[in-house]
């Protein structure tokens, strides 16, 4: 049975282990938004990053990135190894001895390797070694069928009259246990918090137990103990002042610690050649545990395992229940093993290619992050009405109703290259010198045009700036954007010496960088093939911060140069 000291030790271990955990949780496991690369780091890794996806799952992940499948592929995760030690005790017919009692008690240690196969289920292979001890404080006389005691103690030694020698049952059990555990995480799926610093779990185990039990029946001279000399003769001098602790202390003080006598056992199930004369049995087990996170690679675990051997009532060397009259009978219940342990676990694997074991991650984190900070979510196209189709939305169009095909500036007003108040589409003198203005209704000045005035070059400031949006994962230019690019082409044709900078956004992952390149390249090719604009008049920029499906354009500043052709960053990720 687990007494108050046992529970006190467990509580103390829990409190000590939890001290550094909650501070760590606030620093390293909380979700955060990165303004530098516009990504949400709730799980500690980017779901869109293909580095965490093993090759055999890339087909699914590509479908996810291409919006052909709603679920991302499961990331590659680390293995866990761990070691620990704790209290190892048998629950049986003879009371167990705890570690802090006189001359020690049961103890054990373990080592394991664990792998997560999902966010809830994982498996573990664990080896346990244990020493369990027990001592009975009441005397026993009805041990007729127990060979560990009836061979050394009998009525003849007491001098006759059929009086049986008193004995005090005790044992020392040594065991080796190998378990294969199925573990279920209980609290990593959270609805109101990104992650937790404490992992609770329950497990079922199947395994094998090899054990051997001995009793301390003989003294240093290999002779039976005279227990009357140790605790007195209760039939002659009542020991009413003694309690169980005092009796146990006297027994331990008067007995050695050799455990030289082989306890009763199932000899047909012993395997002397392999297990050093130990009994082998099938051993199911179950238990619960708590892990306290210290860092991404280290955690502390407090766990309790209960093992119920399939057919064993001899772990403590005793299976007979005494009767006041008549022979002893079988107790009718099997012994069990309790192992309360404190361990330290390590997560193995490169952080660049492996996430933490999945039982530390919240599978809802990606869904919640998309709801709050959408990067991969398919959103409806924004409704930006442009009644006159000049590429400038009505909200910003200062000249609504511009005729189709008329080049406009960034405010949606018809271009007026010479600033004489007559739009270029109706100006019969496109470049009118300032000294010849004002002009008539046809844009013709009041004086003859000086030689060369009609070839004057306007500044690049007449080329407007703007942005173009693409559908998710598409490089196709939409109709509204085509009208906008037609206006830009007219402006560039009116300013043949000016260059335009095309800048694509999207740098959160490799796939975003490649899509950013695709968008910029699609615009330049469209302007070259559709409107005949020389490709060398564009400056190619991509992978900048911003919304991943947008492209900005503007006139180049004086002296600003840049390549018109750039090699794709990740050609294997180009969309067919």
Torsion of CA 242, 247, 249, 255, to 10 degrees: 150
For the record, the structure tokens of 328 come out as: 């002893």
Could you report the average pLDDT of every consecutive run of 10 residues in the chain (576 residues)? 44 45 40 45 74 92 90 94 96 82 78 96 97 88 81 57 75 94 94 88 95 90 85 56 76 86 76 76 95 94 94 81 60 84 95 92 88 80 76 81 74 77 76 77 70 49 80 85 87 88 89 92 93 92 86 85 90 76
**What is the tally of helices (H) and strands (E) in the chain?**
10, 19
- How far is CA 18 from each of CA 189, 296, 527, rounded to the nearest angstrom? 20, 15, 63
Q: Which residue has the tokens 């501070």?
A: 23
Determine the Cα–Cα distance for residues 499 and 422; give it in Å rounded to an integer. Answer: 26
CB atoms within 10 A of CB 37: 12
- How far is CA 207 from each of CA 28, 281, 283, 312, 473, rounded to the nearest angstrom? 37, 9, 5, 14, 51
Residue from 357, 333, 448 nearest 90 by CA = 333
For the record, the structure tokens of 189 come out as: 């799926």
Q: What is the predicted pLDDT for the residue at 270?
A: 67
In which region does residue 44 sit, left (phi positive, over 0), alpha (psi from -120 to 50) or beta (all else)? Answer: left
Using an 8 Å Cβ cutoff, are 171 and 318 in contact?
yes
φ, ψ of residue 298 to 5 degrees: the values are: -135, 140
E strands within 33-140?
33-34, 39-40, 79-91, 107-116, 121-135
Determine the Cα–Cα distance for residues 135 and 142; give it in Å rounded to an integer. Answer: 17
Q: What is the predicted pLDDT for the residue at 576?
A: 55
Residue from 149, 155, 273, 276 nearest 212 by CA = 276
Q: With H, G, I as helix, E, B as strand and everything else as coil, classify residue 96.
A: strand
What are the residue boundaries of the structural domains of the chain, listed by start? 4-223+256-372, 458-573
Tell me the pairing of strands 550-555 and 500-505.
antiparallel
Q: Which CATH architecture has domain 4-223+256-372?
A: Beta Barrel (2.40)
Using an 8 Å Cβ cutoff, are 423 and 417 in contact?
no
Q: What is the predicted pLDDT for the residue at 142?
A: 77
Using an 8 Å Cβ cutoff, are 84 and 124 in contact?
no
What dotted CATH number matches 458-573? Answer: 3.30.1330.60
For the record, the structure tokens of 451 come out as: 């030689």
Q: What is the predicted pLDDT for the residue at 549?
A: 86
φ, ψ of residue 476 to 5 degrees: the values are: -80, 130
Residue from 468, 552, 465, 569 nearest 518 by CA = 569
Residue from 110, 568, 104, 558 nearest 307 by CA = 110
The span from the first CA to the last CA of the chain, in angstroms, equals 69
């Amino acid at each position: 049975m687990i007494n108050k000291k046992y529970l006190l030790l467990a509580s103390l271990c829990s409190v000590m282990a939890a001290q550094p955990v909650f501070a760590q949780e606030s620093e390293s496991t909380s979700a955060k938004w990165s303004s530098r690369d516009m990504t949400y780091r709730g799980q500690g890794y980017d779901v869109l990053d293909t580095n965490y996806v093993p090759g055999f799952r890339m087909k699914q992940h590509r479908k996810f990135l291409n919006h052909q499948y709603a679920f991302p592929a499961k990331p590659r995760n680390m293995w866990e190894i761990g070691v620990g030690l704790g209290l190892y005790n048998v629950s049986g017919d003879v009371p167990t001895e705890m570690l802090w009692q006189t001359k020690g008690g049961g103890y054990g240690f373990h080592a394991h390797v664990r792998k997560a196969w999902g966010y809830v289920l994982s498996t573990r292979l664990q080896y346990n070694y244990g020493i369990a001890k027990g001592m009975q404080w009441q005397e026993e006389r009805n041990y007729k069928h127990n060979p560990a005691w009836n061979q050394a103690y009998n009525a003849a030694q007491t001098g006759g009259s059929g009086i049986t020698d008193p004995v005090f049952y005790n044992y020392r059990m040594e065991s080796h246990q190998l378990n294969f555990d199925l573990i279920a995480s209980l609290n990593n799926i959270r609805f109101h918090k990104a992650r937790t610093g404490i992992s609770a779990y329950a497990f079922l185990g199947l395994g094998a137990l090899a054990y051997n039990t001995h009793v301390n029946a003989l003294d240093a001279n290999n002779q039976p103990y005279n227990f009357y000399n140790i605790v007195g003769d209760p039939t002659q001098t009542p020991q009413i002042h003694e309690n169980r602790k005092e009796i146990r202390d006297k027994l331990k003080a008067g007995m050695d610690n050799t455990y030289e006598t082989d306890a009763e056992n199932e000899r047909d199930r012993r395997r002397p050649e392999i297990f050093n004369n130990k009994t082998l049995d099938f051993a199911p087990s179950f238990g619960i545990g708590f892990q306290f996170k210290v860092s991404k690679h280290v955690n502390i675990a407090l766990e309790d395992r209960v093992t119920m051997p399939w057919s064993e009532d001899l772990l403590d060397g005793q299976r007979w229940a005494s009767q006041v009259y008549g022979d002893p009978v079988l107790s009718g219940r099997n012994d069990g093993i309790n192992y309360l342990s404190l361990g330290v676990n390590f997560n193995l694997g490169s952080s660049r290619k492996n996430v933490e074991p999945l039982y530390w991650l919240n599978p809802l984190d990606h869904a919640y992050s998309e709801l709050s900070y959408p990067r991969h979510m398919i959103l409806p196209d924004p409704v930006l009405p442009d009644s006159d189709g000049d590429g400038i939305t009505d909200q910003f169009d200062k000249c609504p109703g511009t005729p189709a095909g008329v080049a406009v500036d960034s405010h949606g007003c018809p271009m007026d290259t010479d600033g004489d108040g007559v739009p270029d589409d109706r100006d019969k003198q496109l470049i009118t010198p300032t000294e010849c203005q004002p002009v008539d209704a046809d844009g013709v000045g009041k004086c003859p045009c000086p030689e060369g005035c009609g070839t004057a070059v306007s500044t690049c400031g007449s080329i407007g700036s703007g942005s173009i949006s693409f559908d998710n994962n598409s490089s196709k230019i939409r109709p509204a954007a085509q009208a906008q690019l037609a206006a830009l082409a007219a402006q560039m044709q009116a300013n043949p010496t000016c260059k335009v900078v095309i800048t694509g956004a999207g740098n959160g992952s490799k796939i975003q960088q490649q899509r950013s390149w695709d968008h910029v390249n699609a615009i330049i090719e469209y302007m070259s093939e559709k409107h005949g604009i020389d490709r060398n008049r564009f400056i190619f920029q991509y992978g900048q911060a911003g919304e991943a499906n947008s492209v900005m354009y503007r006139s180049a500043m004086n002296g600003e140069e840049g390549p018109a052709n750039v090699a794709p960053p990740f050609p294997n990720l180009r969309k067919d």
